[in-house]
Structure 1
Amino acid sequence: MCHIQRKFTIGTPRFRLLPETLSPPALTSDDDDAAAEYPRWVLLESLAYVAKRDNGTTAFSRTSDGKEIQVTVCPRRPPSVSYLCVYSPDAEIPVESKILAMEEDLVLLLITVSCQRDVMKNIDYYVYRAADRAAGGKPSLTLLKRPPAPYISFYAEHTGILHCGNSHHRPQLGSESGISLRPHVQVAESSYIIAALKTVPWEMQNEFEFPQGSFILSLYHSKKDAWTVTI
């Protein structure tokens, strides 16, 4: 799995994508066959490419400032690694978009949507759902409310997403999207919870007199569409 590095020019506030991020791997005829067969599971790159790709997995949403954005899964037959493509016709995406967590048909994405000096203030979080019952079985892309400042950034190694609820319906592999991302247990189709844990930054420890080694736990409940933060 490739890990794309972020590049910027010293002395300027603008971040720039590496050329590789703008050039997704070409799909082969075997990949096309795999997509047509609706693979039961795929491996995904941890970073997304920035490119316009359209297929049955494409889902659309809006950025926090109202611009159009879309996410597409480009499936490849395992053990080849599949990847996501993020694209917006009118929003600038200055740094690589990250996959923070996955669970069954859910993918939690971090996408930066502006080239302002403080990119940390321009992070959007999305949940991509491969087969959303509320969308008629089609894929969906949901923009989440931003976590309350200053708890706005998470790391993939400390973030998880988990289905919850009592429904046990698994999306059919011949549905509109045709992708089930990691099927190992029955899917709870209703709601989900996101949990992210990080250490309290030293500047917050000094300002608010938190004990050294304190942690921040951020929880998002989809039913409530709200974040709660505990320190």
Structure 2
Amino acid sequence: MFDFDTEAIHKIFSPSVRPPPLPSPAAAPAWVLLEPVAYIADHTNATTAEASSSTGHTVRVTVCVTDPLGVSYICFHCPGLKDSDFCDRPTVVCSDKDFLILSVVFMFGPHAKQGLNEYFIYKAGPGRPALRLLPGPYPRGFRGSGIALMPRDDGAHFVLAALDYTFQFDDRWVYDLHIFSSRTWTWTRKVPQVEVSSEVRSGVSIITPSKVIQLGGGTVGFVDLMKGIAVCNVLDEMPVLRFIPVPQLMPGHMEGSKSCWQVRNVSYSNGMIKFVEIEKHERHDPDERTLDDMDTLYDSDCLPKPKVIGWRAMTWYRMISWDHWRKGSMVYDKEISVDSERYSMLFPEPTDNNARELTLKNLLASFPVLTLTCDCDDIVYMLCVTKSEDKESWLISVDLKKKILVELAPFSLKGYFAPAQPSELSSYLNRAPGLGCLSRR
């Protein structure tokens, strides 16, 4: 629902982008909204860890956290290297519990043209944080963010799993499963058996995972937000790949080719897979009459009426064993009520004159994020912009079942378009007493 030009995207990913200041939380939050790309910046605090790159350069990683609705982020620094020595900002590949994987592309010396893509694993605790260079992914770099990161043995070890499509002329459902174990510090390859119906084989093309959901006991879901979820226990000696389709795009998205990240998301908690989509729609004027009801046509009646663009959010849920999705909540923007005493000064004229109360109908919403909290399965985080010319940005949380705005905060990362993702990393961080979230050396 948001449109971005190439120049804006280039600025967002430029290594020269500086991190914004963050208010320090009173205590380490149980979870945070984590920005998916890191900043190249020389900042340290109690979370800073060091390692060496394959070229011998010192690498420092620092975690800077703040309470939601603020957006936490990672700082990456290599003493002696300049912004021009990096292709773009480092990427947070995946995060689970106290582990996080970061990807960085170096562009210097013999790597100035092709670039050197390296991956580092950060461990927040217990004790002092640690950072280590990972061996190059087999057989090539990770594709997107479809990587399963699974802490094992109470966090002493971890397993990585990457699902990789293998091109075949006679069968589109052939995949390799690449597994990395911290015990052996090596990559291995498995070929999963695929158990999908003939209907799925003929109707669903290549699965391109953009995220992974942990389903418990070594079972993960490789999520293609457009097509479905490839479910597999990656720890099995002979893994089996199964498929769960996701709901089709809502009608308001059928005509466009917008990124699914803008309008859809999936999560798993408390035994349930949860799915959310935000749909742009044209809102009809309830006072508009049809020609059947009119004996006289004034000139104004003959002119085309301006379209009123609104949005609605819909959730679905299911267990892995089900063969169906069940609808959760479906809410229109103007149905969501806002506490007027708390937020009236923040909103740019959000008053619904008919209801005489504040609503969200003057905001456009995208990038839904489902909460990690199991007992709040109807709360969705969204990035919103105003319809007015100033295009102010807000990060909001909405309880779709109760149809209320839970929380709202200005969004300072202007022009940003990738969704912040919930992460539990913050609850494992070693934060020294009295040390601010961000401390420049």
Q: Same fold (TM over 0.5)?
A: yes
Q: Distance in 1 between matches of 2:50 and 2:170?
A: 41
SS in 1 for 2:124: strand
List aligned pairs for 1:7-86, cutoff 5 A: 18=14, 22-27=17-22, 31-32=23-24, 34=25, 36-86=26-76
Residue by residue over 1:165-210, the C-alpha shift from the partner in whole angstroms, topping out at 9 and shown as x without a partner, is: 1xxxxxxxxxxxxxxxxxxxxxx2211101111323x6xx6xxx89
Of residues 179, 182, 185, the one that matches 1:222 is 182
1:127-206 aligned within 5 A: 127-132=121-126, 137-148=127-138, 150-156=139-145, 158-165=146-153, 188-200=154-166
Determine the C-alpha separation between the residues in 1 that align with 2:54 and 2:80. 13
SS state at 2:86 partner: coil
Q: Structure 1 pair 215/96, CA: closer, same or farther in 2 (3 Å)?
A: farther
Q: How far apart in 2 are the matches of 1:147 and 1:154? A: 10
Residue pair 1:163, 1:190 contacting (<8 A) in 2 also = yes
**What is the one-letter code of the residue matched to 1:195?**
A
- 1:213 Cα deviation (Å)? 4.8
Quote the Cα distance in structure 1 between the aligned partners of 2:171 and 2:54: 34
1:179 corresponds to: none
Distance 1:17 1:80, change over 3 A: closer
Partner of residue 169, structure 1: none
**Aligned counterparts of 2:59 and 2:164: Cα–Cα separation in 1:** 28
Counterpart amino acid of residue 161 in structure 1: L
The amino acid that maps onto 1:219 is: I
Does 1:110 find its partner at 2:103? yes
Structure 1 pair 210/194, CA: closer, same or farther in 2 (3 Å)?
A: farther
1:43-82 CA distance string (max 9 Å, x none): 2101111111111111111111111111111111112110
Identity of aligned residues (%): 28
Question: Aligned in 2, Cα 1:6/1:215: closer, same or farther, shift over 3 Å?
Answer: farther
Alignment-derived partner of residue 123 in structure 1: 117
Shift of 1:151: 2.1
Verify the 8 A CA contact 1:94 1:114 in the aligned structure 2: yes
Report the residue type matching 1:199 in the other structure. Answer: Y
Q: Deviations over 1:24-50 (max 9, x none)?
A: 0122xxx22x1x522232221011111
CA drift at 1:101 = 1.1
- 8 Å contact kept, 1:17–1:94: no
Q: Is the 8 A contact 1:63 1:113 kept in 2?
A: no
Q: Deviations over 1:70-104 (max 9, x none)?
A: 11111111121100011101343222211111111
Q: Which amino acid aligns with 1:126?
A: F
Aligned residue pair count: 179
**Offset, 1:131:** 1.1
Q: Secondary structure at the match of 1:79?
A: coil
Contact 2:39/2:74, CA 8 A, preserved across alignment: yes
Q: Is 1:160–1:195's contact at 8 Å kept on the other side of the alignment?
A: yes
2:87 counterpart of 1:94:
yes
**What residue ranges of structure 2 are gaps of 5+ in the alignment?**
192-441
Q: Secondary structure at the match of 2:38?
A: strand
In the TM superposition, residue 17 of structure 1 has moved relative to its aligned partner by 5.3
Aligned to 1:182: none
Aligned-partner Cα distance in 1 for 2:174–2:40:
36
Provide the aligned C-alpha RMSD in A: 2.6
Aligned partners of 1:65 and 1:71: how far apart in 2? Answer: 17
Aligned-partner Cα distance in 2 for 1:213–1:63: 37
Counterpart contact for 1:6–1:96, Cα < 8 Å: no
- The CA distance in 1 between the partners of 2:114 and 2:45, in whole Å, is 34
List runs of 5+ in structure 1 lacking aligned partners.
8-15, 166-187
Alignment CA distance shift 1:49-1:212 (3 Å): same
- SS of residue in 2 equivalent to 1:22: coil
Q: Which amino acid aligns with 1:25?
A: P
| Secondary structure of residue in 1 paired with 2:125 | strand
Could you report, residue by residue, the CA deviation over 1:142-165 in whole angstroms, capped at 9, with x for unpaired residues? 1111124x4223321x11101111
